[in-house]
Amino acid sequence: MLPVHQAEQLILSLVHPFNPDHDVEVLDLLKACDRVLAAPIISQLDFPHWDNSAMDGYAVRFADVQTCRPDQPIELEIVEEIPAGYQPQHTIQPGQAARILTGSVMPSGADTVVMQEDTRRQDERVWILTTPKPQAFVRHQGEFYRAGAVLLPAGIMLGAPEIAVLAAAQCASVKVYRRPRVAILSTGSELVGVEQPLQAGQIVDSNQYALAALVAQAGAEPLCLGRVPDEPDQLRAAIVHAITTADIVLSSGGVSVGDYDYVDDILEELGADIAIRAVAMKPGKPLTVATLSDRQFASSEPNPSPVSPTLYFGLPGNPVSALVTFWRLVLPALRKLSGLAQAWQPAFVDARSRQVLRSDGKRETYLWGSVSLENGIYEFSPAGGNHSSGNLINLAQTNSLARLSVGQTQIAVGETVQVVLTQSLV
Ligand code: AMP
Ligand code: MG
């Protein structure tokens, strides 16, 4: 069985990130939040675009005011008012000043701004009461960014600050990577839909919903392909359909060693390269990861990425195992595929455990619970009740997974444990 970090590396090595020439779309800037930038942005504008004032005050020549004191103020003639959006018309000569407001363009001749609070004004005269520093309160053209340099690199996620920068650079539309298409397939003859009456022995297909939510939260497009009974012909047809329509396929169930677990056999029959059959993690031991080239299958569906092979994850059927495996091993693959240049792997942080955490130490163990910030320190409380992969119920209202390494059987109260957030802290 493969250790978790090796499984993660192997999976990442199988992912071909989106191609910046083909796997892109151009979006209106208002629609681009949370998308991945596909090409670097280079602006022909300097930031600031021109020398401007950082204060409400007076634009002056430093040479005129370098000797002034409150008891010996220097008197200047105001030759112009420069409100926002106004292009100055005068060159400031010795003995002159311009009234200027925050953000307004500096007039030529002036090199320094004296803030209003350090002046006294009467009609068209102003007295400068204290000597400013040379060039005080002037934001110089190009001080923050020089035209022609890279303003934003490709491969970053666009959030509000990046959208603001793009707007300021007058990028009304922006080239982003398309969303990955992720097919979701539930296998198991016992499965029924949420709307169907439940007979004895049947299980509601919660994985379809859970995985669709996880895929959407990851910024990808879920393709919900429904349920397939444990019947090889139907399963084969469903898998072929899934791999010819999606970039990544997530099936759940049918990858253990039971009599009705057909997924691996079918993948082999279809010529898949099976990279992983099991990972030493708990929950989540049965996991099949394979790549399939879909060129051999005729399909009426438009293939989103005809060159790269499709990545197939046969997730365990247990609902908790399916979610934990997604967070730990599917999400990094999805992030790399989506064109993000870095930060594919989950970020583990140190937390203090509020309770004793136990594991049998045989496999890397994940316990679900809640992280909170107490006086600036993360604290982890495991969910109450049974941490069995069959118990989905206490996974709700948790926001994190704690990790116990192989060989680590206990973490005492107050000891440090590594946790990864599965939901944002509120
Ligand atoms: P399997 O991996 O197919 O052996 O399934 C393991 C357990 O997970 C069984 O109890 C299944 O009934 C359950 N299970 C499998 N698929 C799903 C699903 N889509 N939704 C909820 N539970 C499932
Ligand atoms: Mg099954």
Read off the pLDDT of residues 208-237 as tens digits, 9 standing for 90 and up. Answer: 999 999 999 999 999 999 999 999 999 999
Amino acid letter, residue 57: G
Residue-wise burial string across 298-318, b where 16 or more C-beta atoms lie within 10 A, e elsewhere: eeeeebbbeebbbbbbbbbbb
Percentage of the chain modeled with pLDDT above 70: 97
- Residue-wise pLDDT tens digits, 288-319: 999 998 766 655 555 555 568 999 999 999 99
Q: Enter the pTM of the model.
A: 0.92
CATH tag for 24-46+145-177 (out of 3.30.460.80, 3.90.105.10, 3.20.20.140, 3.30.460.30): 3.90.105.10
Residue ranges, CATH 3.40.980.10, the chain? 4-21+179-337
pLDDT at 299: 56
What is 4-21+179-337's CATH superfamily? MoaB/Mog-like domain (3.40.980.10)
pLDDT at 307: 62
Residue ranges, CATH 2.170.190.11, the chain? 52-139
Ligand nearest to the CA of 205: 1
Which of 252, 265, 321 has most ligand 1 atoms within 8 Å of CB, for mutation? 252
For residue 316, the CA-to-ligand 1 centroid distance in Å is 7
> Is residue 115 a contact partner of residue 137, using CB atoms and an 8 Å limit?
yes
CATH tag for 52-139 (out of 1.10.287.3510, 2.170.190.11, 1.20.1630.10, 3.40.640.10): 2.170.190.11
Residue ranges, CATH 2.40.340.10, the chain? 348-421
- What is the rounded average pLDDT for all residues in the chain? 95
For residue 32, the CA-to-ligand 1 centroid distance in Å is 37
Is the predicted pLDDT of residue 10 greater than 60, yes or no?
yes
pLDDT at 296: 60
CA atoms within 13 A on the CB side of 117: 1
Q: Residues with Cβ within 5 Å of ion ligand 2?
A: 188, 253-254, 317
CB atoms within 10 A of CB 31: 12
CATH of domain 348-421: 2.40.340.10
- Residue-wise pLDDT tens digits, 238-297: 999 999 999 999 999 999 988 889 999 999 999 999 999 999 999 998 999 999 987 666
Is the predicted pLDDT of residue 130 greater than 90, yes or no?
yes
Phi–psi pair at 226, nearest 5 degrees: 85, -160
Q: How confident is the model at residue 390 (pLDDT cuts 50, 70, 90)?
A: confident
> Is residue 363 a contact partner of residue 328, using CB atoms and an 8 Å limit?
no
Residue 318 DSSP SS3:
coil
- Residue-wise pLDDT tens digits, 83-108: 999 999 999 999 999 999 999 999 99
Residue ranges, CATH 3.90.105.10, the chain? 24-46+145-177
Distance between CA atoms of 207 and 249, rounded to whole angstroms? 14
For residue 383, the CA-to-ligand 2 centroid distance in Å is 26
Residue 1 DSSP SS3:
coil
Q: Which of 305, 195, 316, 176 lies closest to 243 in space, CA to CA?
A: 305
Q: How confident is the model at residue 421 (pLDDT cuts 50, 70, 90)?
A: very high
